[in-house]
Chain A
Amino acid sequence: MPFEIYLNVAAAGVLTGLVYGLMALGLSVIFGVIRVVNFAHGEMMAIAMYIAVTLFAAFKLDPLLMMVPIAVVLFAFGYLLQAHLINPFINRPEHSQFMLLVGIGIIILNTLLMIFGPDAKNVQTSYAFDSYQVGPLIIDATKAYAGGAAILVSAALFAFFRFTLVGQAIRACADNYTGALVVGLNVQQLYALTFGLGSACVGAAGAMIVLFIDVTPPLGPAYTLLAFLIVITGGLGSMPGALVGGVLIGVTEAMAGLLFTPSAKSMFSFALLVIVLLFRPQGLLGTSAR
């Protein structure tokens, strides 16, 4: 097999993995701070994808340009969800939280089915079929844009948590819940803000992923599973871990499809998860539970 085929497949895997990573980043942020596992994560991304499809169909608005407005809508959705529905469950047993979020996921899935039906929907941008040739490398334009945007959004999120007061306050909540209460932080509001930020990440990822993947309502649960696969591999609660996990899963699936059989791609990504769990249970960049 020519070498450039490996190169092309690896490049496509990296770019897709970056977008996967951004999606999983939202899940990791939410878990890292609130310690709630968002089982409706993929379904929220499906909402973002449908918003992008609807805006494109109605007003020909490019999903890349709409990425920020869609992220804002998902931020508001996530904020309200946490403030009014999830916050009362914070101190309840984990199985209650699990059922709540699974329930929210099912409601979203069926609402999408009722509104949009089961048919696959997509956006046909002017660059939908474009690709760039750099020497032997052929890069899918939509994946290149999406991958680039994923890097920018992730960098902005890292900067927010590192350099802003609100970001530092959120990190304080994550580090020491009681301490945060003692120093007078409004933890409930910060939690809502965090869930909103995690949702905004998944909203941005949805707006980008719809450029190269058609959306159907059942895509939601599939992406929830994928997000779990990524964050557990990268390290649950670790922001860099989510991105690394995304790229690793993207490349593993791509190369497994090329070197073995494409129908067994998922088998290899789950095998990678099992290996990581065996030798580094906290994930590649996760920290051990104290």
Chain B
Amino acid sequence: MSITRYRINRRHLMAGAGATLVSLGPVSRAFAQGAPLKVGVLLPRSGAQAGIGQDCYRAVEIAPGLLKDLGLPALQIMGADTETNVDTSRSQAEKLIAEGAQLLVGAFDSGQSSAIAQVAEQKGIPFVINIAAAPPITEQGYKFVFRNFPTAPMILGDAFANQKEIFEAAGSAPKTAVFMHVNDTFGTAMAGGVGAVMPKFNMSYTIAQTISYDPTARDLSVEVAKAKSANADVLIMVSRLNDAILITRELVKQRWTPQGVLSMGPGWYEDQYLKTLGKLGDGPLSFVPWYDPNKKLSKALEAAHTKAYPEIMLNTNHVYTFEALLVAADAYKRAGSADPKALADAIRKTNITDNVSTGPGIQFNEKGQNDKLKNSAIQNRGGKLVTVAPKTAANAKAEFPMTPYDKRG
């Protein structure tokens, strides 16, 4: 047996390397296009907002199948818990980016979203906000921050318009109101918005008293006693889930049923609220960013959601978290790259009309805000949610005034 020695010289090496690069070129491009986009999803999955954060995450779990059906690229989800804490939100965002997240989504709460927005802008990573209403977030001139959720003034404007419609249909308009709100970023922004927006709508009622409270409070008996002492017709609320339950308990115990509870935030329409309180959970009206049940994608999302979570109704948390992921996947498809700047440019040019939320669709203005969104009024009835305004999207008539707590059997 003879062995032929083959010496590799510089020319062979260069030729081989060149051939390897040429042959790998198409493979690398194919990999870049087929690789899932790494999306860091930041939500308050523990702490005071844990219930809502975990509810939002349900949409993250059902999104892959729906995005695939829409012909959109896959997303690699990198979950992170903000622990309902602004500082943790900031550090978790930094950690996700360090670990390779190419786009961030979150974070339900305005304070936490503001902190993440600062990090995203510093690092040049696109951040799509699912839920957060404080206006300043998209007023900072950020280039990498986008919000597909109405701001506090948008929510309030639609809320007052829908309230007028409900009072008119009921033939009964309240004269006075007590306004209770959480004193976090969202609640404070909404409180400021009520003062600024309400005068433009010439409402039938005046606000007799404003009461702010800590969203992590364990006992709200004093707050409700104070509200009751104002002897107002309606109770306007900007709250979260746990405090909404606590306040309802106190309303019952302190034997006060206002004509209506008008909520302009989360809490009062959520599954845990309805399940915990049973019949006592019926009646509150929530003026919230909602979904258009007639849209094709809404039906698909509702079907997927019901299949995955038969005990839980589709709500704002699911809708807007899903749409944030929809924006990410759509932008990735159009950008054809995970480059942060290309992604941000693609998000800026978003024009999704096949969507879920009420309104014409998803587009962002020069500030990164979707200013086309519309809200609905929903009411808890028999443990379910019905849409009572606007007329064009309603499937029931509002019950106003609501049935007193002591007459519910």
Contact = CB atoms under 8 A, between A and B. Distances in A.
Given A118-B45, A118-B50, A124-B276, A1 B229 contact: yes
B225 A9 contact: yes
Interface in B231-267: 242, 245-246, 249, 252-255
Nearest to B254: A138
Contact of A257 (B226, B246, B280): B226
Nearest to A143: B221
A2 B229 contact: yes
B216 to A, nearest CB: 8
Interface string A115-145: 0011110101000111101000010110000
Interface stretch (A23-31, A154-162, A198-206, A212-220): A212-220
A119 B51 contact: yes
- Contact size range, B: 20 to 34
B167 interface: no
B94 interface: no
Nearest to B220: A262
Contacts of B45: 118
B211 interface: yes
B142 interface: no
B214 interface: yes
Contact of A120 (B51, B219, B229, B255): B51
A111 to B, nearest CB: 14
Nearest to B256: A138
A254 interface: yes
Interface in A1-60: 1-2, 5, 8-9, 12-13, 16
B252 to A, nearest CB: 4
Given A118-B50, A219-B218, A258-B226, A138 B242 contact: no
A52 B249 CA distance: 20
B213 A131 contact: no
Dominant secondary structure of chain B at its interface with chain A: helix
A265 interface: yes
Interface string A220-250: 0010000000000000000000000000000
A38 to B, nearest CB: 21
Interface string B27-63: 0000000000000000001110011001000000000
A140 B222 contact: no
A214 B219 CA distance: 9
Chain A CB within 10 A, most for which of B47, B220, B246, B253: B253
Interface string B369-408: 0000000000000000000000000000000000000000
B47 A262 contact: no
Given A5-B229, A12-B222, A214-B242, A262 B276 contact: no
A129 B222 contact: no
A55 to B, nearest CB: 19
- Contact size range, A: 35 or more
A262 B242 contact: no
Given A138-B254, A262-B212, A263-B214, A218 B226 contact: no
Contacts of A131: 253-255
B164 to A, nearest CB: 30
B222 A265 contact: yes
Contacts of B222: 9, 12-13, 253-254, 257-258, 262, 265
Given A119-B51, A131-B255, A218-B47, A263 B225 contact: no
Nearest to A265: B222
B82 to A, nearest CB: 12
Given A8-B225, A16-B219, A262-B222, A129 B46 contact: no
A65 interface: no
B213 A262 contact: yes
A113 interface: yes
Contacts of A13: 222
Interface in B188-216: 211-214
A263 B212 contact: yes
B242 A120 contact: yes
Contacts of A138: 253-255
A129 B249 contact: yes
Contacts of A258: 222, 225-226
A133 B229 CA distance: 16
A257 B223 contact: yes
Contacts of B276: 122, 124
A5 B45 CA distance: 38
A91 interface: no
Given A118-B46, A138-B255, A263-B183, A213 B218 contact: yes
A117 B45 CA distance: 10
A248 B405 CA distance: 33
A1 B211 CA distance: 15
Contacts of B226: 5, 257-258, 262
A288 interface: no
B349 interface: no
B212 A140 contact: no
Nearest to A253: B222
A212 B219 contact: yes
Contacts of B223: 257, 262
B228 A140 contact: no
Given A140-B221, A219-B218, A258-B226, 6 more contacts: A118-B45, A128-B249, A254-B222, A258-B225, A261-B212, A262-B211
17 contacts: A5-B228, A8-B254, A9-B221, A119-B54, A124-B276, A129-B280, A130-B253, A140-B253, A218-B47, A254-B221, A257-B223, A261-B212, A262-B211, A262-B212, A262-B213, A262-B220, A262-B222
Interface of B: 45-47, 50-51, 54, 183, 211-214, 217-223, 225-226, 228-229, 242, 245-246, 249, 252-255, 272, 276, 280
Interface of A: 1-2, 5, 8-9, 12-13, 16, 113, 117-120, 122, 124, 128-131, 133, 138, 140-141, 212-214, 216, 218-219, 222, 253-254, 257-258, 261-263, 265-266
9 residue pairs, one from A and one from B, having the closest CB atoms: A257-B222, A118-B46, A118-B50, A5-B229, A129-B252, A131-B253, A262-B223, A262-B213, A263-B183
